Amino acid sequence: MRNDPPSGPGAPGRDAPPVAADAGVSFVMPVLNEADYLRRAVASTLAQEVPGPVELILALGPSTDGTTELARRLAAEDERILLVDNPAADIPVGLNAAIRASSHPTIIRVDAHSELSPGYAARALDTLARTRAGNVGGVMRADGRSPFQRATAWAYNSPVGLGGGAYHGGSREGEAESAYLGVLRRTVLEEVGLFDESVRRGEDWELNLRIRSAGYRVWFDPTLSVTYWPRERWTRLAQQFFATGRWRGELFRRYGRRNSLKYFAPPVLVLLLALGLVVGALQAVGAIAVASAASAVYVPLAAYVALVALVALGARGGGRFGWRERGWLLAVLPTMHISWGTGFLTGAVRGAHDTVDTSRLSGRNTPLP
């Protein structure tokens, strides 16, 4: 797989080739240790009503929680489900294996930790046909079942948590930098080279960069909605965000300022925290002349602490969002920012190498009702 986006033929806004409405849809889903979520993800996918034939290809990683056995049972129950192996457990490798095993001209990516809203696929096909975009995506509506997961979901949906990307709550339809999951034409995918298998996190952003560089539009449609279930434990959230941040640092090494400015806020916070610790140590040993001038670093840190506290206390999320969720927000927001920022700095300096999201590699999730 090539790492550098091609300059691409055609001017920006190049139309994707049209496809007959009843030509069929291939859903592709990488799966690893999702025994508690897979059945619902599959059900919401196969419940989608589209004019033509449908297939769902599951790329199975080496799960340890019974996911593979469940996937085989589901495939035996419904001939529309196909299984392919993904022994490397990498998301882009699994996605490419599923795409190559699929047969229809439109590819819809689905996450095993998510559920498609009714009518999602039909609406996405209409938007693709109307806009002739290379990729279409909608809103990630994070939700939770436990106080911690609901707090994490609130942070996902908030600009304070994940920086306010369109698919985290945007309401205006139009061109976008990237797309959540994605509904794509096979011809566009094949032209740009499928997913880059050397990018283990942020693979969707990198793919959309190549799609836009080839002249196609990436389109955001806020009427498309996908429910996403965040990590259920604090340690898993920290692991996930560190890995994601480290790969963003790797993407910064590769593509520099093609990364949006919002990605640099968490690493700046981490640098300020590190500087604050140094200043505090200097003050503790009596280096007043050095530390006093540098003590201004406490001002932005105090502002950050105040912001987190105000956001957590003022958070609203319906009847299920109470003081336990607000209490968890006090931990969730800094965990997201610091883990991601630390990962970014590590990736920017040392690269991502073989960094993986270890929160996906072992153990069962919190049982669902």
Average pLDDT value over all residues in the chain: 89
Tell whether 193 and 270 lie within a shared domain: no
In three state form, how does the secondary structure of 52-115 look?
A: CCEEEEEEECCCCCCHHHHHHHHHHHCCCEEEEECCCCCHHHHHHHHHHHCCCCEEEECCCCEE
Gap between the Cα atoms of 266 and 337, Å rounded:
5
In this predicted structure, what is the pLDDT of residue 3? 42
Q: What is the dihedral of CA 312, 225, 265, 252, to 10 degrees?
A: 150
Gap between the Cα atoms of 336 and 168, Å rounded:
15
Tell whether 214 and 311 lie within a shared domain: no
In this predicted structure, what is the pLDDT of residue 166? 58
Q: Tell me, what CATH number does 108's domain have? A: 3.90.550.10
Please check whether residue 245 lies inside any domain of the structure: no
In this predicted structure, what is the pLDDT of residue 164? 59
Summarize pLDDT for 50-72 with one digit per residue, the tens: 999 999 999 999 999 999 999 99
Q: Higher confidence at residue 275 or residue 170? A: 275
Lowest mean pLDDT among 67-81, 90-104, 281-295: 281-295
Gap between the Cα atoms of 44 and 117, Å rounded:
7
Please check whether residue 249 lies inside any domain of the structure: no
Summarize pLDDT for 204-213 with one digit per residue, the tens: 999 999 999 9
When pLDDT is cut at 50, 70 and 90, the band that residue 96 belongs to is very high
pLDDT (average), residues 109-126: 94
Please check whether residue 168 lies inside any domain of the structure: yes
Task: Give the domain extent around 29.
Answer: 25-230
pLDDT (average), residues 280-290: 74
Tell whether 211 and 90 lie within a shared domain: yes
Please check whether residue 268 lies inside any domain of the structure: yes
Please check whether residue 324 lies inside any domain of the structure: yes
Tell whether 277 and 181 lie within a shared domain: no
Tell whether 208 and 318 lie within a shared domain: no
Please check whether residue 152 lies inside any domain of the structure: yes
State yes or no: pLDDT of 369 exceeds 70.
no
pLDDT (average), residues 348-358: 89
Tell whether 105 and 225 lie within a shared domain: yes
Tell whether 212 and 281 lie within a shared domain: no
Domain boundary, last residue among 214, 230, 246: 230
Tell whether 225 and 288 lie within a shared domain: no
Tell whether 182 and 289 lie within a shared domain: no
pLDDT (average), residues 258-274: 91
When pLDDT is cut at 50, 70 and 90, the band that residue 311 belongs to is very high
- Alpha helices for the chain (secondary structure H): 38-46, 67-77, 91-101, 120-131, 147-157, 159-162, 186-192, 203-213, 234-255, 265-284, 288-294, 298-314, 323-350
Sequence-distant (6+) residues with CB within 8 A of 40 are 115, 368
pLDDT (average), residues 280-292: 72
Domain boundary, last residue among 195, 230, 265: 230
When pLDDT is cut at 50, 70 and 90, the band that residue 288 belongs to is low
In this predicted structure, what is the pLDDT of residue 170? 64
Tell me the pTM: 0.87
Lowest mean pLDDT among 23-32, 272-281, 311-320: 311-320
Please check whether residue 4 lies inside any domain of the structure: no
Sequence-distant (6+) residues with CB within 8 A of 62 are 32, 68, 87, 89
Tell whether 33 and 164 lie within a shared domain: yes
Please check whether residue 5 lies inside any domain of the structure: no
List C-alpha distances in Å: 29 to 8, 32, 60: 28, 10, 9
Tell whether 55 and 140 lie within a shared domain: yes
Summarize pLDDT for 146-198 with one digit per residue, the tens: 999 999 999 998 888 876 565 666 678 999 998 899 999 999 999 999 999 99
Tell whether 277 and 201 lie within a shared domain: no
> What is the count of structural domains for the chain?
2
